[in-house]
Amino acid sequence: MPLKLTIVTAQRTVLEQDGVTKLVVPAAEGQITILPSHAALMSSLAIGEMVVFTGTASESIAIHGGFIQVANDEVSVLADAAERVDQIDLERAEAGRARAQARLQGRDANLVGGLDVLRAQLALQRSLTRLRVARRRVGGATGAPSSRP
Amino acid sequence: MAGGGQVRGIRDRIRSVSSTAKVTRAMELVAASKMRRAQERAVQARPYAETMRAVLAQLAAATGGGDGASLHPLLQARDVKHVSYVHITADRGLAGGLNSNMNRAGASLVLEYQPKVDRVSVISAGRKGRDFFRRSGMELLADFPELGDFPNFEDVRPIARLIIDDFVAGRVDQVFIGYQRFINAAVQRPTTRQLLPIIAPSEVVSVGKAVDFIFEPSPEELLATLLPRYVEMQVYEAVLEARASEQSARMVAMRQATDAAKEMVSDLTLAYNKARQENITGELLDIVGGKAAVENA
pLDDT in tens, B249-270: 999 999 999 999 999 999 999 9
Instruction: Assess whether B174 and B262 both reside in one domain.
Output: no
ipTM of this complex prediction, to 2 decimal places: 0.76
Mark yes or no for CB contact A40/B212 under 8 Å. Answer: yes
pLDDT at site B25 = 93
Lowest mean pLDDT among A75-79, A107-111, B93-97, B287-291: A107-111
Positions of CATH 2.60.15.10 in chain A? 3-85
pLDDT at site A144 = 46
Facing B214 at nearest CB: one of A8, A10, A41: A41
DSSP B65-89: TT-GGGT-GGG-----SEEEEEEE-
Question: Is residue B118's pLDDT more than 70?
Answer: yes
Q: Rounded to a whole number, what is the distance in Å from the CA of B205 to chain A's nearest CA? A: 12
Mark yes or no for CB contact A42/B236 under 8 Å. Answer: no
pLDDT at site B65 = 53
Instruction: Assess whether B107 and B212 both reside in one domain.
Output: yes
Spatial separation of the C-alpha atoms in residues B145 and B127, rounded to whole Å: 6
In chain B, which residue's Cα lies nearest the Cα of A41? B214
Domain with B266 in it: 2-29+255-291
**Of B9, B7, B15, nearest in space to B264 by CA:** B15
Positions of CATH 1.20.5 in chain A? 88-139
In the structure, how many helices (H) and strands (E) does chain A have?
A: 3, 8
CB neighbours (10 Å) of residue B50?
A: 15
Confidence of residue A141 (pLDDT cuts 50, 70, 90): very low
Instruction: Assess whether B168 and B279 both reside in one domain.
Output: no
Which 3 state secondary structure label does DSSP give B202? Answer: coil
The sheet carrying B187-196 orders its strands as: B139-143, B119-125, B82-88, B174-184, B187-196
| Number of separate domains in chain B | 2
CATH hierarchy code of domain A3-85: 2.60.15.10
CATH hierarchy code of domain A88-139: 1.20.5
In chain A, which residue's Cα lies nearest the Cα of B240? A11
Instruction: Assess whether B6 and B97 both reside in one domain.
Output: no
Residues B59-84, mean pLDDT to the nearest whole number: 77
Residues of chain B neighbouring A72 (CB-CB closer than 8 A): 207-208, 211
Residues 128-147 of A with CB under 8 A from B: none
CATH number at residue B187: 3.40.1380.10
In a domain, B296, yes or no: no
pLDDT in tens, B1-32: 445 678 888 999 999 999 999 999 999 999 99
Residues of chain B neighbouring A71 (CB-CB closer than 8 A): 206-207, 211, 213
In a domain, B167, yes or no: yes
Instruction: Assess whether B157 and B222 both reside in one domain.
Output: yes
Instruction: Assess whether B66 and B107 both reside in one domain.
Output: yes
CATH number at residue B273: 1.10.287.80
